[in-house]
Structure 1
Amino acid sequence: MNLDLFDQPDEQPDWAEPLAPGAMVLRGLALATQHEILAALAPLIARAPFRHLVTPGGHRMSVAMSNCGHLGWVSDARGYRYSGIDPDSGLPWPAIPAPWLALALDAARRAGFPDFDPQACLINRYQPGARLTLHQDRNEHQLTQPIVSVSLGLPAVFLFGGDRREDKTQRIPLAHGDVVVWGGPARMRYHGVLPVKPGVHPLLGECRVNLTFRQVT
């Protein structure tokens, strides 16, 4: 892992905003390829439709989700885990589309993680009112590589906290095309999303879609 980017702030582009050592927002990074990225979404969701997962405690998540890649993240009464099979269809998850993978690798490299090798991409759909409570991503065996999170559609407020749930959080507004990367010393930071406000995005309508890339093993 190379953290030189955080030691040389004068060399960062204006649209790169450091959040903490190992974490940054890359403003508008996805815009250059947004049409290719969005064109891959509908056929993928046709194969692995959005669904509202249930937590081990029986809570229905407000965010609808699907997956692509060698592994997909699933939740039910048995717990949180990764699986190579979509439990709804019994088939392997669709492959990560090439434009998505290229964006994830580029974002990770820009943030100082040139060896990122994502095996899973979680696809989350936030309709107005949907939120994601503060949590850590801890189901991966590989905890040195980053999380790469791509925002599409309606704006949202990303909560970025500390290593403890009670630590103070930063409120970071995210717009269509923004990418957040956190790894290394920031990998286990608590994070979440405030309830998405009603609105209409010209390309995605009344929702926000978030692509979250993870290296599991």
Structure 2
Amino acid sequence: MLHEDGALFGRPSVVVAPGATLIPGWLSRDVQQELITCSRQWAMGPAGMRRPRMPDGSSMHLRSVCLGWHWKPYQYSRIADDVDGARVRPMPQRIKDLARAAVRDSTQLDPAVSRNPEGFSPDAAIINFYDDDDRLGMHQDRAEDNLAPVVTLSLGDSCVFRFGNPEGRARPWRDLVLQSGDLFVFGGPSRLAYHGVRHTLPGTSPADLDIRRGRVSVTVRETGLLESWT
């Protein structure tokens, strides 16, 4: 069953599972536009946008660009060797600040999100671009060397996001509609929960947002990797 908007009272914040929170409308419209504009610039490269390939050679049903660390299934590196061989762009301080605030606010809603929200030290971001027919299969975020919370910011078209459990891809799961400006954070007992994007909802982007089409997600993580930037 989809998370229903409260037309009369607005969309309330939700504890989806222990350690997993949804805060609707967390980003102001100005910040949403700022992130969309920056995402376009990051996508142009160097180390720009590409369609990631799975280890078996198949392509994922989305395009992405990385900051801080370059991710490809299922490893991190400093070099975008599946794009142009360029060094990945540094993690912007603006993204770090937003992610830290996201973890603080989510932990206030559910203390299970993080035992030490002030210690959250994000160092990698994956910006995913979803066209009308794109999706992301159920998976775990396991490439990191710690279990710090994962922060996701949604921009543009809404999507149906499936959030499951740490044991496998089967039920129980919960389907949620993530709209532009929404914040979703999962940590603690839900940090290794399987999750994915079932499909986007074309044409649902706010009319005053300059995104043209599709959905953008900004997912921020703390890798725990110790290699210095220099």
Once the two structures are TM-superposed, the CA of residue 129 in structure 1 deviates from its matched residue by 1.1
CA distances 1:26-77 after superposition (whole Å, capped 9, x unpaired):
11112252233233222222223221111112211111111011x12113xx
- Return the letter of the residue paired with 1:82: Y
1:155 equivalent to 2:158? Answer yes
Query: Match for residue 108 of structure 1?
Result: 103
Partners of 2:36 and 2:197 lie apart in 1 by 22
The residue number in structure 1 matching 2:146 is 142
After the TM superposition, which residues 40-189 of structure 1 pair with which residues of structure 2 at under 5 Å, given as runs?
Answer: 40-47=38-45, 48-69=47-68, 71-75=69-73, 80-87=74-81, 88-112=83-107, 113-143=117-147, 145-163=148-166, 164-189=168-193
TM-score (normalised: structure 2)? 0.81
Partner SS state of residue 21, structure 2: strand
The letter of the residue matching 1:170 is R
State how far apart, in whole Å, the 1-side matches of 2:216 and 2:125 are. Answer: 12
**What letter is aligned with 1:208?**
R
Letter in 1 for 2:80: D
Tell me which amino acid in the other structure corresponds to 1:59: S
- Once the two structures are overlaid, the 10-residue window that deviates more, 172-181 or 35-44, is 35-44
- RMSD (CA atoms): 1.6
Matches of 1:65 and 1:35, distance apart in 2: 18
Distance in 1, Cα, partners of 2:12 & 2:210: 22
Unmatched tracts of structure 2, length 5 or more: 1-10, 108-116, 225-230
Identity fraction in percent? 33
What letter matches 1:209 in structure 2?
A: V
- Structure 1: stretches of 5+ with no match in the other structure: 1-13
- 2:151 and 2:187 map into 1 onto residues whose CA distance is 9
Amino acid at match of 1:155: S
Q: 1:30 & 1:123 partners in 2: Cα distance?
A: 16
- Offset, 1:102: 1.8
Paired position in structure 2 for 1:214:
221
**What's the secondary structure of 1:196's corresponding residue?**
strand
Q: Give the match's secondary structure for 1:195.
A: strand
The alpha-carbon deviation at position 85 of structure 1 amounts to: 1.1
Regions of 4+ moved over 6 Å: none
